[in-house]
Structures are given as structure tokens and as C-alpha cells.
Amino acid sequence: MAESVEPYLEPTWFVNSDAPEIVALAREIVHTSTDEVERACRLFYAVRDGIRYTGYNLDLERQAMRATGVLAAGQSWCVPKSVLLAAMCRAADIPCRLGYADVCNHMATKKLIAFLGTNIFYYHGYNELFLRGRWVKATVAFNRTLCQKARLAPLDFDGAHDSIYHPFDLEGHRYMEYVHDYGPFADVPYDAIIAKFAAAYPRLPSPGVESELSGDFEAEIQAEAGGS
């Protein structure tokens, strides 16, 4: 029996696709388009580039990882950005689920890797959209300007092919390796993520505690990539 897509159309606490601001923005973005792939692509780019990625000031509070919280902040990291995309898609009647994977990330600042104590990023967040009868992966984490500064090709999305991180950057250096995939979720496995972070990243503060890790992530990425 084929899996039902209904759970991936419904609002949840984190993916609060029924919030008025989410519904209004999704409608504004998809506007008059009736093609589900075109609608999905519009939403993808709106979240990818409209919410700036930062690897610093990670806010692990529940509200900060909720779709409306991400939208209000205007910047976040991969897990909350994927939550916002899921909410926008569901608000536009596109089934969308959350995916998580452990990745070996070679595109991070030296400061971030030193702070975490590893270049393994646990529970990296991405999405899967149900388009034209099948699930297609999408990754909205890194906005275009960040990719340009890091000398990376931005991840595009056409609704037909999986959009996941490239193994190499534009200069042929190792960029991203997928280590483990946790599978799909209708809502954020919040407790599991927080528990894993606490075990893997001892210096990362608990939710509600301000982090000592701060700075201009884009500027530091650009400097380390040799940009001006």
C-alpha cells in the first residue's frame, strides 16, 4: 500500500502551516500559478534566499525552530529553514516532509568547527516534496550570497531532481559527505535533536542559554575562502 501524503499536508506545532503569516506569504509567492512544480520552486527559492543562513548564534529554543519564529527572525540554520519550507509548502497544498542526515561538512569556518569539536554536523535538515507522484529532495540551507562568498555552486531546485549537497566545491575540494540518514518526519524530532547535540557538542549551550559563538558567518566564510 502506498504511503499516505496526508500527514505531510497537516500543520504541526513546529510546521505551523496554518499560521496567518505563513498562509499569506505562501499565497503571495505562488500567486496565480496552478502548476505544482512551479509553485514548489517559487517557495524553495523564497526560503533559500529570503532567510539568510548562519552557523552562529544557534537558537535551540522551540519557538526559534518553529516556522513562524524562523520567518520573524529572517535568518537561521538548516533545521529551522527546512521547517519554514515545509510550512510554506503545506500552506500551498504541496505535501512536504522533513528529512535529517548526519553530514561531514567541509564548508564551515575554522571557528565553528573548533567550537563544535568536530566537522560532523548531526541532524542536518532538508525536505522532501511530493510532486507529480513522487518525493523529491530539496535543501534550502545555504542562500545564494553565502554560496558565492564560499565559492560554491548554490543548490538549485527544479522539482524533478533531488537537490542535495555536492560532494565537491567549485575548485574540486571536498565539500559535503552524507554519513547517515534518519528518514522522513512530519514534525521536528526536537527532543532527539537536542539530546544528540548535548552529547556531541559539549560547548553548545542548552535551549534558552546564550551561546558564546557569534560573529558574521558570511564574512568569515568569504575570508577563509580567499574572497575580498
- The CATH number linked to 14 is 3.10.620.30
- Is 82 inside any structural domain? yes
Say if 195 falls within a structural domain: yes
Confidence of residue 35 (pLDDT cuts 50, 70, 90): very high
Strand partners, 124: 101
Structural domain containing residue 40: 6-224
CA proximity to 96, closest of 10, 22, 170: 10
- Per residue in 146-161, pLDDT (tens digit) is 988 888 888 899 999 9
Residue 92 lies in a domain: yes
Residue 228, pLDDT > 60, answer no
pLDDT tens, position by position, 129-143: 999 999 999 999 999
Is 139 part of any domain? yes
**C-alpha cell at position 18:** 496554518
**Total structural domains in the chain?**
1
CA dist., res. 192 & res. 220, Å (int): 30
Q: Is residue 1 part of a domain?
A: no
The pTM for the full model equals: 0.94
